[in-house]
Amino acid sequence: MTDVLVDRARAWMAEDPDPDTRAQTEAMLAEPQALAVFFTARLQFGTAGLRGPIGPGPGGLNRANIRRVTGGLAAYLQDHAPGGIVVVGFDGRHKSDVFAEDTAAVLAGAGFQVVLFDTVCPTPTLAHAVVWLEAAGGVMVTASHNPPQDNGYKVYWSNGAQIIPPHDSGISDRIDAINSLSELAVPDLAELRAAGKVRRVPPEMAEDYLARVLANRVHTGEERRARLKVVYTAMHGVGTASIQAVLGAAGYTPILVPEQAEPDGDFPTVAFPNPEEPGALDLAIAKATAVGADLIIANDPDADRLAVVVPDGKGGWRPLTGNQVGCLLAEDLLTHADPEDTRPPMVATTIVSSTMLSRIAEAHGAEYRECLTGFKWIANAAIPFDASGGRFVIGYEEALGYSVGDVVRDKDGVSAALLFCDLAAACKNRDESVLDLLSALYRRYGLHASRQVSIKLSGAEGKAKISAIMQGLRDDRIDTIAGVPVIERTDILAGSSEDLLTGRRTQVDLPSSNVLAWRLNEGSRVLARPSGTEPKIKFYFEVVEPLDAADRLEHAEQRAEHRLDALERDFRGLLR
């Protein structure tokens, strides 16, 4: 096997355009066992593109792989919009700018008009630009909140949403058809710019984004903005300029966490650049405590996610979950909707997010959609709804992703930040806290408490273990979990759901996906699925706890946590 890897590495070096990865390959050839990491298997083009460690060979993210993938994308787009516009953006990770330039050169060499951001940009800005420019598609070079050693390549269709079937498999097939990089034309970028084949994003695009984000607001009182003190961290990502522009235009002056305000691909102050990770918001919390802030908001490195932290009323700080932020925004937007807008409203979330959104939708007469995990599914539910005369209000997923209206057909942590600041400011103007509003929400709809548990299982052995766990759960007839009867079992891969009380089977109206779900008595739920972007299997638990007027929120939350503990403990015992 070593000889095969050596031959593969030498062949790779012959085509590699990057001196950095050629040098890395040369060093690995001196110790051939090191080749196994990057030269055993090809990094696969997945449901939205590529994501993986920066490094040489077919198993790494590098300039050669970027060119090959872009060549496949260009070939596929030629069938749909030959000679059209393709927008390319990039974040602040290592090599992102170089990968974006290679992408632009290959697309232009294939005959497309390329609009290339000339500096780092948030992912939602790229998604908005695709629609604004009426482009055939877009590419964003980002690995979102992955570790510093990773990067990625995300593909958008002409509707501004991430690609879904059949486009993902169609592009992958075109990538596989490329035998050698010599088949691709890669003109000099400077010459392409001089010839007008690669151009900058017009400033009017950012102006349009800003105007449309501001138009989504439902709270606009001057006194509300003036009283709210907001601390913001970009998590060493690209969100600072956009947050300052959007919040500034709305009358806020965000207080930055200076150590994390500028893009830095090393992410030096955090162990993991994900605001959900323990410790990631420590600097923001320290800053907020020092300045007496009312609210902390944070984006992940490409600014498509939003984290929110609020005072806990006891001198400390409490991070809100994605479910809590999504439901608070949904209730706020539906409650304060323009009464003259008669279009039927719709809200959407994913199958692993809280079911509380369904109760909010019912109370406000809004249509409710549940989609597969991944914002591309929410976007592709919203687009035809709007086209048919409806009004998409908000979509969210529990992993801190939110999209409001039709400004961006993907997660947008910038516009969501503005709307949450408005919500918090309106609360303060009424001498209430965000937690007071959350408590009122729970009293109306029931306290929906949720928990996600991930088990990391890397490599081929881990992949096999994940597959075995999912198969074991399919084979076992689980009738109770933590003593609570299962009343419905759903297998989305098989496309069916079984009512265990009646034995009736129904078809699931969702694309096939490796997801299992158990609905329990008392409103509880358990779901299991492999991650689509990381070597993990994920489990989701939800309970609904009644909360009456005399009940204290913290007591109801404690009861819910005990029930979640019991569900998780018992369910883990079922894994094999």
Sign of CA dihedral 509, 514, 519, 524: negative
Which residues, at least 6 apart from 532, have a Cβ–Cβ distance to it below 8 Å? 46, 47, 373, 374
- What does the alpha-carbon distance between residue 320 and residue 454 come to, in Å, rounded to a whole number? 19
Query: How open is the CA angle 568-570-576, to the nearest 5 degrees?
Result: 100
User: Considering 96, 144, 172, 439, which one is annotated as catalytic?
Assistant: 144
CA-closest candidate to residue 162, choices 127, 122, 133: 127
Phi-psi region for residue 83, left (φ > 0), alpha (ψ -120 to 50) or beta? left
- For 138-196, the DSSP string reads EEEE--TTS-TTEEEEEEEETTSSBP-TTHHHHHHHHHHT---GGGS----HHHHHHTT
Q: Token pair for residue 178?
A: 């490329």
Kind and range of the H or E run holding 323: helix 322-335
- What does the alpha-carbon distance between residue 570 and residue 576 come to, in Å, rounded to a whole number? 13
Does 353 qualify as catalytic in the annotation?
A: no
What secondary structure, in 3-state letters, does 29-53 show?
A: HHCHHHHHHHHCCCCCCCCCEEEEE
- For 64-81, the DSSP string reads HHHHHHHHHHHHHHHTTS
Q: Contact 49/68 with Cβ under 8 angstroms?
A: no
Torsion of CA 255, 259, 262, 268, to 10 degrees: -150
Kind and range of the H or E run holding 525: strand 525-530
Helices 413-429 & 322-335, crossing angle to 10 degrees? Answer: 70
Q: Which residue numbers are catalytic?
A: 144
